[in-house]
């Protein structure tokens, strides 16, 4: 999906879907996250607007939060997120795409792990958010063994 920048961070989530062959595609990022987030709310009731006719695709709160945080401040960002990039209503397509997920994740320029909006630090106006690799994240949120254990207790780390 292509996420375009918007001036208002509270603006509705809008994306364009682009289709490419595995061997011939532009750079993209893949997102790893829990559909239901920490509260396991899997109800798809939050709108994501798709395409030039602004079709509505209902998503979980955690998915919409993730897209809101990934939306760029300028330009656009190509992101692969399973809930949107796989037609979840088509069992045959979903089965084929799930079988290709290792290829999708190996082919991306970066994997973004979204652990939830509740642990994201707010960013002052005019500043840019921190982008942390795995080791930096564990240092930031794991200054003590108890904090590190608490981070690892998140639902994200218990997924299959």
Residue 151 resides in a domain = no
What does the radius of gyration of the chain's CA atoms come to, in whole angstroms?
A: 16
Q: What is the dihedral of CA 1, 79, 97, 41, to 10 degrees?
A: -100
Structural domains counted in the chain? 1
Domain with 58 in it:
2-127
How far apart (Å, rounded) are the C-alpha atoms in residues 76 and 72?
Answer: 6
- Within 13 Å and on the Cβ side, how many CA atoms surround 152? 10
140 falls in which pLDDT band (50, 70, 90)? low
Question: If we measure between CA atoms, which residue out of 2, 59, 12 comes closest to residue 35?
Answer: 59
Q: Over the stretch 66-89, which tens digit does the pLDDT of each residue have?
A: 999 999 988 999 999 999 999 999
In the chain, what's the furthest Cα-to-Cα distance? 50
* 25-72 pLDDT tens trace: 999 999 999 988 889 899 999 999 999 999 999 999 999 999 999 999
């Amino acid at each position: 999906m292509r996420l375009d920048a918007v001036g208002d961070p509270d603006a509705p989530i809008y994306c364009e879907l682009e289709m490419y062959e595995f061997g011939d595609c532009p750079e993209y990022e893949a997102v790893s996250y829990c559909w239901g987030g920490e509260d396991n709310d899997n109800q798809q009731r939050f709108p994501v607007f798709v395409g030039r006719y602004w079709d509505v695709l209902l998503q979980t709160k955690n998915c919409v939060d993730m897209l809101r945080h990934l939306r760029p401040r300028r330009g656009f960002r190509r992101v692969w997120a399973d809930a949107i990039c796989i037609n979840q209503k088509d069992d045959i397509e979903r089965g084929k795409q799930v079988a290709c997920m290792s290829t999708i994740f190996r082919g991306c320029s970066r994997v973004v792990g979204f652990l939830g909006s509740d642990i994201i630090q707010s960013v002052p106006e005019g500043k840019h958010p921190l982008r942390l690799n795995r080791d930096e994240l564990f240092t930031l949120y794991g200054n003590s063994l108890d904090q590190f254990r608490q981070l690892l207790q998140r639902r994200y780390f218990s997924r299959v």
